[in-house]
Amino acid sequence: MVSIGLIIPPDQPPERFPVAAHAAERAGLDEVWLWEDCFAESGIGAAAALLASTERIRVGIGLVPVPLRNVALTAMEVATLERLYPGRFLPGFGHGILPWMGQVGARVRSPLTLLREHTSALRALLEGESVTVSGTYVTLTDVQLRWPPQECPPLLIGAEGPKTLQVAGEYGDGVILIRDFAEGAERARAAHRASGRTGTFDVTTFLTVSVEADPDELTEAIAGCVAAGATRIPVVGVEGPDGPPDGSAAILRLAERLGDVRARMNE
């Protein structure tokens, strides 16, 4: 079954996030998603708050920029949230916006190499291994989590270009897409199959709609994502056809309509 969620954009203060998350949970949605945009809210911090203040809804981050974090810290954060709220945390990782990474002195020469090294080491740490690695960007010596999760959450990778889609398939448990849904899904799934890795491979498509879209419009747009191969569909409402993300009270009404669409699709 396809999961439908609400994206809470970072164009509002973090104290408003729980209100939107509660609305999404009341509406029967499966997930809420956050963006870790520089220099707004912390994705990990906001996810922890929403997990604590809701009861069942899953919380995703699309995405955590890996240049900003040492992989040991990432593993500690993910393991902590997965142990506190098992099965409800969906961490996504990626390059981040490269000019922003440059602003904080974290931009690297090869973002692809960093993403491979970070994701590979992160998975090993979350699986409880003692990790020693000396890579181009990731260096660990006998690092092992004291409290690894009982089960590693799915590690999702945000991707657009063909090389990053290849990395997502080879190293991730799923891909996060913002455009070219069908092509991106097939490229990442093909890379996953070719890697020999088994298990479910998620395709998360970030769907952009008018914040005032009616249920019929939402149903049609979501059906298009499903036809393109999506397994998770977080939805962000925007102001007008090309407007910025809308985090106003309209997002609460959007959550209700998405809940109606979800119920309709599951009839």
| Mean pLDDT for the stretch of residues 167-194 | 97
Residue 166 lies in a domain: yes
Report the pLDDT value the prediction gives residue 255, as an integer from 0 to 100: 97
User: Mean of the pLDDT values across residues 30-34?
Assistant: 98
Residue 140 belongs to a domain: no
Q: In this predicted structure, what is the pLDDT of residue 266?
A: 78
Tell me the pairing of strands 58-65 and 202-205: unpaired
Please tell me the predicted confidence (pLDDT) of residue 62: 95
Residue 167, beta-bridge partner list: none
In a domain, 64, yes or no: no
Residue 182 within any structural domain of the chain: yes
By residue count, the chain amounts to 267
Q: For residues 9 and 26, give the distance between their C-alpha atoms in angstroms, rounded to a whole number.
A: 19
Element (H, E) at 91: strand 89-94
Domain count, the chain: 1
Output the pLDDT for position 15. 95
pLDDT tier at 195, thresholds 50, 70, 90: very high
Read off the DSSP letter of residue 243. P
**199 pLDDT exceeds 90?**
no
Any domain includes 191 = yes
Whether 122 is in a domain gets the answer no
Average pLDDT over residues 41-49: 97
Whole-model pTM over 0.75: yes
What pLDDT sits at residue 156? 98
* Residue 126 included in any domain: no
* pLDDT tier, 239 (very low <50, low <70, confident <90, very high otherwise): confident
Report the interhelical angle of 162-171 vs 181-195 (nearest 10°). Answer: 50
Q: What are 73-106's pLDDT values in tens digits?
A: 999 999 999 999 999 999 999 999 999 999 999 9
Report the SS3 class of residue 74: helix
| DSSP state at residue 15 | G
Give the Cα separation of 57 and 51 in Å (integer).
Answer: 8
Q: Which domain holds residue 160?
A: 155-199
Average of pLDDT values for 128-132? Answer: 98
Q: Is 145 helix (H, G, I), strand (E, B) or coil?
A: coil
Note whether residue 190 is domain-resident. yes
Q: How far is CA 211 from CA 10, 32, 226, in A?
A: 15, 16, 20
The residue with tokens 């390059």 is 95
- Name the DSSP letter for residue 245: B
Give the separation between CA 73 and CA 70, rounded to whole angstroms: 5
12, pLDDT greater than 90: no
Statement: residue 32 has pLDDT above 80: yes
Residue 86, pLDDT score: 98
Q: Write down the mean pLDDT value for the chain.
A: 95
